């Protein structure tokens, strides 16, 4: 298994980006399930729920996996954050995934977008080419609508993604069902120590996306291309050689030993199989301390927050 968390013992695979073709997604899910993964993370915005649903049904109908063995996660898109649209959105996702319920449903991002009635227009643009954020917003109202999905048994748990500490705290103060996790960028260059400490006090876990630096993220998120590659860090490279493990495996092992859930993204079969091979070794305390002492700081998804410089719910 790739991680232990409050939702049960599950394996983790993250399937991101609309740039992945449907066939790449199908191959990735088949490879992952055959390798032992049981946690599939996707989102309405990624536009690959239907491809994932096809493979899930293929494995379920053949008896290769049972539904209770799977942990399926998807996310509420920003265009559907108006409370009255939340159930409409999960209904679309469940139809695409060919499932009766989700194991976890997340609010994808705390900034809502304008909804023009077109469910396919997930990133509405302004005349200047930016994303069109909604002027009216009710984050706590959205959370209440998420809680109603729990009562309807459409999802077994709910959480958030890309939320700030204060936003999670606001929700926890009024929540009937607290978020079980906050899915955020987290790795050795962006360790989220303050977030981890604050959420631990609230009883909320952290799920790390981009745990290996997301080298395959879309070009528009890469900025000018001068960011340092996480996989090339000299400390990680040295430990990779010592243990005979890939740099990605060292990075994943570090986060797992910190008690963080990890969702490495890949559609490459060889890397998918490799990313799960992290339970036959452990990093020593001095090695964990050395990684913890890395001073270099870098966020790979900073452009997401920079696109909403004045919005009250901008998380960073």
Q: Kindly write down the DSSP assignment for every residue of the chain, as one continuous string.
A: --EEETTEEE-EEE---TTS-HHHHHHHHHHHHHHT--EEE--GGGT-HHHHHHHHHHHHHHTSS-GGG-EEEEEE-GGG-SGGGHHHHHHHHHHHHT-S-BSEEEE--SS-B---S-TT--S-B-TTSSB-B-SS--HHHHHHHHHHHHHTTSBS-EEEES--HHHHHHHHHH-SS--SEEEEE-BTTB--HHHHHHHHHHT-EEEEESTT--TTS-GGGSTTS-PPPGGG-HHHHHHHHHHT--HHHHHHHHHHHTT-EEE-B---HHHHHHHT--SS----HHHHHHHHT------TTHHHHHT-TT-TT---
Structural domains of the chain, ranges and CATH numbers in brackets: 3-306 (3.20.20.100)
pLDDT at 225: 59
pLDDT digits (tens, 9 = 90+) for 73-87: 999 999 999 999 999
Query: Residue 46 catalytic?
Result: yes
pLDDT digits (tens, 9 = 90+) for 193-211: 999 999 999 999 999 999 9
From the candidates 17, 44, 46, 189, which is the catalytic residue?
46
Placement of tokens 């410089």 in the chain: 309
CB 57 within 8 A of CB 98: yes
What tokens appear for 282 in the block? 């452990």
Q: What percent of the chain has pLDDT over 70?
A: 90
Question: How crowded is residue 270: how many other Cβ atoms within 10 Å of its Cβ?
Answer: 9
pLDDT digits (tens, 9 = 90+) for 33-91: 999 999 999 999 999 999 999 999 999 999 999 999 999 999 999 999 999 999 999 99
pLDDT at 135: 83
pLDDT digits (tens, 9 = 90+) for 287-302: 999 999 999 999 988 7
pLDDT digits (tens, 9 = 90+) for 136-178: 889 999 999 999 999 999 999 999 999 999 999 999 999 999 9
């Amino acid at each position: 298994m790739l991680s232990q968390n409050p939702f049960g013992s599950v394996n983790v695979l993250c399937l991101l980006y609309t740039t992945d073709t449907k066939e790449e997604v199908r191959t990735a899910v088949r490879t992952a399930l055959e390798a032992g993964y049981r946690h599939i993370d996707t989102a309405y915005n990624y536009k690959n729920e239907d491809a994932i649903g096809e493979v899930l049904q293929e494995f379920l109908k053949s008896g290769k996996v049972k539904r209770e063995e799977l942990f399926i996660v998807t996310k509420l898109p920003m265009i559907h954050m108006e409370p009255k649209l939340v159930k409409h959105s999960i209904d679309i996702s469940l139809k695409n995934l060919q499932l009766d319920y989700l194991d976890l449903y997340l609010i994808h991002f705390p900034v809502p977008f304008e909804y023009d009635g077109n469910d396919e227009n997930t990133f509405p643009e302004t005349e200047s080419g930016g994303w069109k954020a909604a002027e009216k917003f009710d984050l706590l109202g959205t959370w209440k609508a998420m809680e109603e999905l729990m009562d309807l048994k459409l999802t077994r748990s709910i959480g958030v993604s890309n939320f700030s500490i204060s936003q999670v705290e606001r929700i926890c103060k009024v929540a009937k069902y607290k978020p079980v996790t906050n899915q955020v960028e987290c790795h050795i260059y962006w360790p989220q120590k303050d977030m981890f400490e604050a959420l631990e006090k609230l009883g909320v876990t952290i799920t790390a996306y981009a745990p290996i630096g997301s080298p395959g993220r879309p070009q528009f998120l890469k900025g000018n291309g001068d960011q340092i590659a996480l996989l090339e860090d000299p400390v990680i490279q040295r430990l990779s050689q010592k243990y005979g493990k890939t740099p990605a495996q060292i990075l994943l092992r570090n986060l797992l030993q910190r008690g963080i859930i990890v969702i490495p993204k890949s559609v490459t079969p060889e890397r998918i199989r490799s990313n799960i091979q992290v339970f036959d070794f452990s990093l020593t305390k001095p090695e964990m301390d050395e990684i913890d002492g890395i001073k270099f700081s870098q966020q790979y998804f900073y452009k997401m927050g920079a696109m909403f410089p004045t919005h009250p719910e901008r998380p960073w």
